[in-house]
Amino acid sequence: MSNVCPLDYRYGREGMKAVFSEESRIQYQMNVEAALARAHASLGTISKADADEITRVAGSGAVSVGRIKEIEKETRHDLMAMVKAMTEKCSGDAGKYVHLGATSNDIVDTATALQMKAAMEIVLEDVDNLICTLARLAKRERDTLEIGRTHAQFAIPITFGFKIAGYVAEMLRHRERIIQAMPRICAGKMAGAVGTGAALGENFFRIQETVMSDLGLSYEPAATQVVGRDRYTEAICILANIATSLERYCTEVRNLQRSEIGEASEYFDVAKQVGSSTMAQKRNPMNSENVCGLARVVRSMVVPTFESQVLWHERDLSNSSTERFTLPHAFILMDEILRKTEWIFDGLDVHRERMLYNIESSKGLVMAEPLMMALTRKGIGRQDAHEIIRESSMIAEDTGRHLRDVLYERKDLEGVLSKEEIAAAMDAANYVGKSREIVDNMVAEAEKVLGRKV
């Protein structure tokens, strides 16, 4: 059979793919069936021996995917096919009690909660690794001067470490979102056909609590036939938010690697790597471009996930086919681009000389603000100081001269600012504000949250 989906042959790491494989999905569902049997046994509904037998079947590998598919051809119901396959493998009377009091989505949604828990734990590990890498880079480039840009134009100086420290702060917020949302996202149900727990009788609340405690999940306190899909929406929106941040960081790499900027670039294996099939000199930011493209796919899962919240009455089946795509694809691609972004920034080549060159190429114009502030400290009104520097900047730009030289010639500045004071005000290293301290603060915060040195 030919592979159609790029996840089959190009994207995704095996650990995350394994969480969403068909085999894993079935195993998670059998684990839920086993937890349900144990809950019944704890309340005396069935014997412990029968619960142990169901648990053994669930964990023994005795139930094959092939057999489930054979039964599904007849039943045309995938969950019931699994239940029948489990029943076949149970010895004694234990098979009578598989799926006792449950409806399909008690098992399916609870298994999905287990999948999302495992997947979110992988994402959280990825986020932690990226935070560590970014903090280490910020620390290394704490004092590296770079021009800040607004509207894609030169603004005032920053340090490259300061730029990366902003990424650290953002990723720490994403980490907090994941941790706060996990109990809401990882919720199952064991409440029967429409959520009333009628089939479980007087033991309903205790059975549901026992099953979810056994599995390490929270539970839907007032379910319909399904767990509330607002939980799935929150999960996908968190992933989309993180993906958008990664696209922002990698877009910056792509821009800084532009030939006319040249301030940073992806690692390039000069011994073997090929940038272009025809332009042999090319070193393209291919990984950053890949992250940007896949981030858009992750975001594309948001709309169908929102639409899957809208189910008829106590539920319909319109969400099921959608979620078979959205959940695995979003998590698998999230894992892929988090790891790829970490690789990009771990090996990022920072071209410090080019950063200084770009600052100097402005011929002093990027130091207009510190010059204006120097004038205000001499008693000149802020608006007048702004006009003096604005006028001088326009002359410098129109004539191609250095702003410093234009200011030296201004008669109205004689006795106000000396040449030494002008030179000091135009030293970029003196005008990065608290950039360095901000880096220090964010590195310290990252180390505190992660519990390790970067």
Give the pLDDT band (50/70/90) at residue 268: confident
**Mean pLDDT computed over 148-158:** 97
Task: Judge whether 430 lies within some domain.
Answer: no
Task: Judge whether 40 lies within some domain.
Answer: yes
**Mean pLDDT computed over 62-91:** 95
Residues 116, 235 within the same domain: yes
- Alpha-carbon dihedral 87, 92, 94, 95, rounded to 10 degrees: 20
What's the confidence (pLDDT) of residue 277? 65
Could you please report the per-residue DSSP string of 299-325?
A: HHTHHHHHHTT--STT--SHHHHHHHH
Percent of residues, the chain, with pLDDT higher than 90: 93
Residues 21, 150 within the same domain: no
What angle separates helix 104-140 from helix 78-89, to the nearest 10 degrees? 100
Question: Does the pLDDT value for residue 280 go beyond 70?
Answer: no
What's the confidence (pLDDT) of residue 3? 85
Residues 19, 155 within the same domain: no
Within 10 A of 163 (CB to CB), how many other CB atoms are there? Answer: 21
CATH number at 16 reads: 1.10.275.10
Residues 164, 93 within the same domain: no
CATH number at 254 reads: 1.20.200.10
Look up residue 173 and give its amino acid. R
Active centre residues (catalytic): 151, 276
Task: Judge whether 440 lies within some domain.
Answer: no
CB-based burial, 78-103: b 16+ in 10 Å, e otherwise: bbbbbbbbbbebbeeebbebbbbbbb
Which of 97, 123, 141 is the C-terminal boundary of a domain? Answer: 97
Residues 339, 377 within the same domain: no
Which of 55, 70, 97 is the C-terminal boundary of a domain? Answer: 97
Residues 316, 378 within the same domain: no
Task: Judge whether 438 lies within some domain.
Answer: no
Task: Judge whether 36 lies within some domain.
Answer: yes
Could you read off the pLDDT of 36-46 as tens digits, one per residue?
A: 999 999 999 99
Task: Judge whether 251 lies within some domain.
Answer: yes
Largest CA distance in the chain: 105
H-helix or E-strand spanning residue 341: helix 318-346
Give the pLDDT band (50/70/90) at residue 269: confident
Per DSSP, helices labelled H in 141-187 are: 160-185
Residue 62: phi and psi, rounded to 5, are -70, -30
Residues 112, 89 within the same domain: no
**Mean pLDDT computed over 431-436:** 96
Could you read off the pLDDT of 382-414 as tens digits, one per residue?
A: 999 999 999 999 999 999 999 999 999 999 998
Task: Judge whether 453 lies within some domain.
Answer: no
Could you read off the pLDDT of 219-245 as tens digits, one per residue?
A: 999 999 999 999 999 999 999 999 999
Which of 46, 76, 97 is the C-terminal boundary of a domain? Answer: 97
d(CA 20, CA 26): 10
**Mean pLDDT computed over 362-376:** 95
- Residue 388's domain comprises 365-425
Residues 112, 261 within the same domain: yes
Task: Judge whether 3 lies within some domain.
Answer: no
Residues 16, 61 within the same domain: yes
Residues 372, 350 within the same domain: no
- The answer to whether 291 and 341 have CB atoms below 8 angstroms apart is yes
Residues 394, 291 within the same domain: no
**Mean pLDDT computed over 199-203:** 96
Percent of residues, the chain, with pLDDT higher than 70: 99
What's the confidence (pLDDT) of residue 272? 78
Residues 209, 346 within the same domain: yes
Number of domains in the chain: 3
Question: Does the pLDDT value for residue 270 go beyond 70?
Answer: no
